[in-house]
Every structure is written in C-alpha cells, then in structure tokens.
C-alpha cells in the first residue's frame, strides 16, 4: 500500500539495564550451548516498572520530539504481546491519561511482534481519511516479561525476550521520516506451530500458564515423527516476495535501501528467515544493536529506527526497510525515507527518560 504525506514526527524508547548472557549462564538461567548459538551478548531486563509505565516514558519522549501539541492528536494505539494489567482493564487509556490526557479514542492493536507496524498502518489510514494537516496519532508499545510465568531465556530457540517500551508519533504535518509504502502477508497454515496441543477452550488452570513456544513446537515435532502433516511453507520466499512488492509500490529497490530494521531474533533465525532470503548481510541490519538487547517484542522496530537515526547511521535522503514477522505466520514490511536529522526536529531531549 502506497502512502502520501504520512510522516513519523517523533520516536521514543525505554530500555532498562541489561543482563549479560554470560551471567545468565552462570546463574543457570541460560544453557551455555544456547548462548553460543544465539550470538547474544546481553538482554534488557526491567525489575520494577510495569509495561504501561515504560510505554508512558517512551511516549513522552516521542511527543516532545514531535513538536505536536496534545490537541493535534486524533487518538492513541497501544500494542503488546503479554500481560499489561488486570483482566478487563484498558492499558491504552492509562497511557493516554498519563501522556496526552485528551478525550480521544485509545485502544489496543493486537498483532504479536508486528503490533507496532499494524498500528502504524491503522494510524496512516486514519490520518489519510481525516486529511487535517496538523493531525497526529500516538502509537505506544511495551512488554515486561520479568515474571516466573515467562521463560525469558528458554521459551524459544529463536530469541530471548527483552523488556522495553517504545512510541511513535505519526503525523500529517511532517517529521524525521516519511512513510512511502507498507504491506502485510500471511501463511495461516502455519498458525499451528505456536498453538501446539493446548486446548482452545476451556482455559487451562492457571489461566496464564508459562509462556513456552519451544514446548508447543515440540508437540508438533512428535506428530511429524508419527507421520502427521507438517504446517510449513517456504516462509522466507514469501517474505522476499512481499518486500519486492512493497519496494516496487514505493518506487524504489533493495539496492537503494541504506539500512534494515528487523526483529531482534538470535543470529541464525535472523539470517535464515529475514536476511538470507533477501541476500542481505547482517551489517545492513540492526544486529549489532539487537545482540546487546535481545528480542524486544513489539518495540524492536522503534528501538532500531531510533538508534540508527539518533546515531547518524541514517541521514536525510536515506531509505530504511522495516521488516519482521510474527506468529500466524505473518510478515510485514514498511519503506521509510529519512527527511531530517535529530537536530532539525522541534525538540530533542537527551535519550534516557528513565
């Protein structure tokens, strides 16, 4: 889908302290072999702040950087993959009340690790329909996995879960990057890989069992060994085709892409699923950042984009490909053009509002 006059006006992130993977091995949390295979050096871990408060801190930075007043915002979209607070409660309105404090709509966009990209598409469509030059949308995303109910170090061989918060301000007026095009594609036959043999209803006790993607996948490995069907497809080829289509829609090509922002997966899965199908080297992506933070679920994309922009690794005129996938299986990508340096933005407070 092609977009005109949709911009990213502000970005903010919250990353807590990191724990080295070497220390995690010494403590018995992480297997030595798994650490060596992952390529990870450290993972972000938040001890006390709830996910929604990390989102609030990131949002305040993004709004400050955007130069938009609270009255400009049409609404707030919040994304997450894990627990945000009491069942039936609205984390989006909590974030709204602690940031814009405006009587606008606030709701959640649930789409796994692609939640922020799904929110970006929704915001872009809403702003396009509204047409107001100063209109803006506030996007937030956050997860805190620091609980015994999550196997941070062991839930998947593809990643280690990191705690974080992030925010984007999407604007009609202008900003530091322009959204050129984006697209989503799914392979629904693969959804069973993350369902395993868990019942869909009634819920098991406790209601929130330990998050264990690897255990669910193992149940399917057993079925495959017994001759069951394999819910697999050439997902890498599907991602590559989606990227090619989105680049064509944006009127560009892969050789014009300066950098790629992607999921914070471990080294091998990152290469196999995202970089290799496109013929890209890890140096074109954000691996050097991700190996020191882990997989920040919904916030990987904002964290990677902010890092490249604030450190001057992308400058006006550069094009950035944002690329990732989530359970389902579904992939998404977006093409951005950097249009301003940090010092050109209306406000640029120092990073680290925490």
Task: Please determine whether the domains at 7-176 and 180-188+231-342 fall in the same fold group of CATH.
Answer: yes
Is the pLDDT reported for residue 39 higher than 60?
A: yes
Q: Looking at residue 190, what is its pLDDT?
A: 63
pLDDT single digits (tens) 155-165: 999 999 999 99
Q: Looking at residue 351, what is its pLDDT?
A: 38
Please tell me the distance from the alpha carbon of residue 55 to that of residue 85, in angstroms, as a whole number: 13
* Domain ranges (residues) in the chain: 7-176, 180-188+231-342, 189-225
Q: Are strands 42-44 and 18-20 parallel, antiparallel or unpaired?
A: antiparallel
Q: Looking at residue 188, what is its pLDDT?
A: 74
> Residue 273 carries which DSSP code?
I
> Residue 206 carries which DSSP code?
S
Q: Looking at residue 202, what is its pLDDT?
A: 75
User: Whose structure tokens read 């005129």?
Assistant: 317
Torsion angle defined by CA atoms of residues 308, 313, 317 and 321, in that order, rounded to the nearest 10 degrees: -50
Q: State pTM to two decimals.
A: 0.89
| Mean pLDDT (the chain, rounded) | 90
pLDDT single digits (tens) 174-228: 999 999 999 988 767 666 665 666 677 776 655 555 666 665 556 555 655 566 5
Q: Are strands 319-326 and 257-262 parallel, antiparallel or unpaired?
A: parallel
Is the pLDDT reported for residue 349 higher than 50?
A: no
Q: Where are the alpha helices (DSSP H) in 71-184?
A: 91-97, 115-130
pLDDT single digits (tens) 140-156: 999 999 999 899 999 99
Q: Which CATH class, in words, describes the domain spanning 180-188+231-342? A: alpha beta
Q: Classify domain 7-176 by CATH architecture.
A: 3-Layer(aba) Sandwich (3.40)
Is the pLDDT reported for residue 229 higher than 60?
A: no
CA angle 348, 49, 305 (to 5 degrees): 40
């Amino acid at each position: 889908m092609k977009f005109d006059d949709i911009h990213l006006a502000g970005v903010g992130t919250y990353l807590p302290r990191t724990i080295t993977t070497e220390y995690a091995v010494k403590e018995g949390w992480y297997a030595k072999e798994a650490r060596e295979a992952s390529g990870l050096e450290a993972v972000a871990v938040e001890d006390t702040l709830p996910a929604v408060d990390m989102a609030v801190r990131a949002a305040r930075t993004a709004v400050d950087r955007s130069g938009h007043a609270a009255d400009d915002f049409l609404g707030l979209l919040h994304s997450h993959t894990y627990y945000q607070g009491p069942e039936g409660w609205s984390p989006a309105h909590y974030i709204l009340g602690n940031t814009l404090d405006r009587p606008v709509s606030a709701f959640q966009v649930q789409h796994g690790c692609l939640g922020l990209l799904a929110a970006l598409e929704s915001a872009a469509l809403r702003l396009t329909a509204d047409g107001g030059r100063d209109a803006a949308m506030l996007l937030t995303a956050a997860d805190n996995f620091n609980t015994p109910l999550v196997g941070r170090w062991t839930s998947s061989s593809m990643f280690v879960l990191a705690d974080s918060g992030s925010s984007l301000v999407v604007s009609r007026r202008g900003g530091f990057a322009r959204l050129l095009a984006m697209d989503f594609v799914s392979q629904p036959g693969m959804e069973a890989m993350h369902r395993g043999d868990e019942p869909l209803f009634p819920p098991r006790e406790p209601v929130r069992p330990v998050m264990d993607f690897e255990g669910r996948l193992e149940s399917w490995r057993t079925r495959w060994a017994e001759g069951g069907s394999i819910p697999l497809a050439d997902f890498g080829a599907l991602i590559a085709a989606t990227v090619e289509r989105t680049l064509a829609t944006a009127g560009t090509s892969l050789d014009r892409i300066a950098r790629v922002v992607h999921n914070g997966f471990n080294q091998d899965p990152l290469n196999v699923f995202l970089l290799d199908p496109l013929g890209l080297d890890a140096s074109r992506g954000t691996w050097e950042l991700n190996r020191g933070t882990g997989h920040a679920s919904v916030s990987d994309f904002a964290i990677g984009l902010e890092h490249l922009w604030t450190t001057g690794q992308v400058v006006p005129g550069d094009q950035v490909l944002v690329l990732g996938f989530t359970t389902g299986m579904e992939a998404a990508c977006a093409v951005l053009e950097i249009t301003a340096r940090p010092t050109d933005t209306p406000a640029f407070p120092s990073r680290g509002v925490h």
